[in-house]
Amino acid sequence: MHIQTLAVQHLHAQDLGAVVPPVHLASTYALDPATEDGPYAYQRGANPTRGQLESLLAALDGARHGFAFATGMAATAAALSPLGVGDEIILPTSVYGGTYRFVEEVLPARGITSRYVADLNQLTAEDLTPATRALFIETPSNPTLRITDLRRLVDLAHAHGALVIVDNTFMTPVLQRPLELGVDVVVQSATKYLGGHSDLLAGTITTNDDALATAYAHAQKAQGGVLSPSESFRLIQSIKTLPLRLERQQETTAAIVAHLRGREEIAVVHHPGSHSAEEAAIHASQATGTGAVLSFELAEGLDRVRFLQALRIPAYAVSLGGVESLICRPATMTHEAMTPAAREAAGIGDELLRLSVGIEHADDLLADLDQALSAAG
């Protein structure tokens, strides 16, 4: 079944044929006094509505197990929860600022070390140490949109006995399915494309590994960062339009990339595959689209603040993946947790702007960008 159909139809036969699944709000459930057992006991441990969402998430990713969390960072934290004292995690230098904050400020207290690599495609077996337990990958990376060869990194990590965890927020299962490439764990900020309307916070994990699934179920129950039934229901409904939204967003993004690359007011445009022909080929081999995020810098002499103030359609705000276009300055917004040295190593300059393209008409967005560029000059 195609993912466009799966997103809409997967849950229809699971609750008396209801086209729209009901919301189960109960915080606690009655148990059999004789066995003290039942399918549900307390909402934190399991909930029918969250269970339906988790079933849908697993189906979309081709996974045996799915988990829903209250935020994307709660999902990332849970994904890393199997790591322990003495373990090392390797990440790209260009990684989401929230992930950087968690890795730098929380994991050290647990005895976990981290190492950042500018280009994971250059990683070799000699770069992995006995402590290396996991590789955490964003492809495309945020916000420079660098591409990592997942098949190669999976082979490298698994030969070493390490896990591969992929943040697939930018691509979603519509455009990239890392588990099918051998990845162990996929995390997403469902606040972004899965939710799609900038009106909820959520995070997801999917995996085919039964032992990891047990650990993640324990993380839900022990740490408590689970998604509520109401938000689970809303996310189910939002996912139904995900393929359609992405189709429109990608078409408009391609038009914007082509347009900006032809403007003398633009110094550089980053999009998946733009760094090199090699990265373009890798992305084409493991994904079916380029997504709807780009980043760029204005040419020298243009005023960034005037450009941003002149924009009428994209809001100057963090986040991405919604039906509305958003633009931000990663150095002071999404990646402000990074040190200046870390941002420089990641290629995140003070003038870099990240644009998340919504579902507005392409002509309106292009005209808006053009008038703002004129105002910036």
Q: Catalytic amino acids?
A: 44, 96, 167, 192
The one-letter code for the residue type at 155 is: D
If phi over 0 gives left and psi between -120 and 50 gives alpha, with beta otherwise, what is residue 137? beta
Please name which of 279, 293, 314 lies closest in space to residue 246, comparing C-alpha atoms: 293
Residue 127: how many other CB atoms lie within 10 Å: 14
If phi over 0 gives left and psi between -120 and 50 gives alpha, with beta otherwise, what is residue 273? left
Query: Where in 43-130 does DSSP place strands (E)?
Result: 65-69, 88-92, 113-117
Residues with Cβ within 8 Å of 184's Cβ and at least 6 positions away in sequence, in order, are 163, 164, 165, 207, 208, 209, 212
Locus of tokens 């099918």: 180
Please name which of 207, 176, 173, 177 lies closest in space to residue 190, comparing C-alpha atoms: 173
Q: With H, G, I as helix, E, B as strand and everything else as coil, classify residue 328.
A: strand
3-state helix, strand, coil split of the chain in percent (to 5) is 40, 15, 45
